[in-house]
């Protein structure tokens, strides 16, 4: 536990696996909850720190260096240091919940270590492509980006989690192909145990 006043939940996993839907539902159900989305920390398109994929003439948005993790870490720590007199709390003994949402959340050791509960939503390649191909991104995916970058990076990240024995035993893997309601009910029941 980070402190008596905060419980931190980490929601990570494959692109289009239902992370944001789950996070939004959890925020609705959990009073005194705050959400921080890793997606809000993407570097600007013209940032020189990006890794370019020459054969696609496109940036690699699927790696941790495409995100300003220093800023995200700083914002998370700042929030956790706030007292319970903040806007979201009505009584000083209320437990507050910080929900962290991000496709590469557990690649950041500091953030991963802060999480009292870690969830990782999985999909098969076919399911992932079915959902991803109709999504609009800014900048938009270029032809071949899913095959060459999105899916291989996801597999690489998942394999790193599986190899890290200590981290792996603290992650609850969730089948993201299940209905949004099923996923929510499973995760919410687990979180309620933590809050009781």
Closest-CA residue to 119 (of 177, 181, 156, 170) = 170
Q: Is 164 a catalytic residue?
A: no
Tally of CA atoms within 13 A in the half-sphere of 172 that contains its CB: 16
Angle at 51 between CA 36 and CA 150, to 5 degrees: 65
Structure tokens at 114: 């802060």
DSSP H or E segment with residue 162: helix 151-163
Active site members: 39
């Amino acid at each position: 536990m980070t402190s008596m006043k905060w419980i931190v939940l980490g929601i990570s996993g494959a692109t289009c696996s239902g992370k944001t839907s789950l996070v939004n539902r959890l925020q609705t159900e959990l009073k005194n909850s705050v959400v921080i989305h890793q997606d809000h920390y993407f570097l600007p398109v013209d940032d020189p720190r990006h890794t370019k994929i020459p054969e696609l003439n496109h940036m690699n948005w699927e790696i941790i260096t495409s995100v300003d993790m220093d800023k995200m870490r700083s914002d998370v720590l700042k929030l956790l240091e706030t007292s319970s007199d903040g806007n979201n709390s009505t009584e000083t003994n209320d437990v507050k919940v910080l929900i962290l949402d991000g496709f590469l959340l557990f690649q950041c050791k500091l953030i991963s270590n802060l999480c009292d509960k870690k969830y990782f939503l999985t999909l098969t390649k076919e399911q992932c492509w079915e959902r991803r191909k109709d999504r609009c991104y800014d900048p938009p995916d270029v032809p071949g980006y899913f095959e060459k970058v999105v899916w291989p990076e996801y597999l690489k990240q998942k394999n790193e989690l599986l190899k890290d024995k200590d981290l792996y035993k603290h992650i609850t893997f969730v089948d993201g192909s299940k209905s949004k309601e099923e996923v929510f009910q499973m995760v919410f029941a687990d979180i309620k145990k933590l809050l009781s």
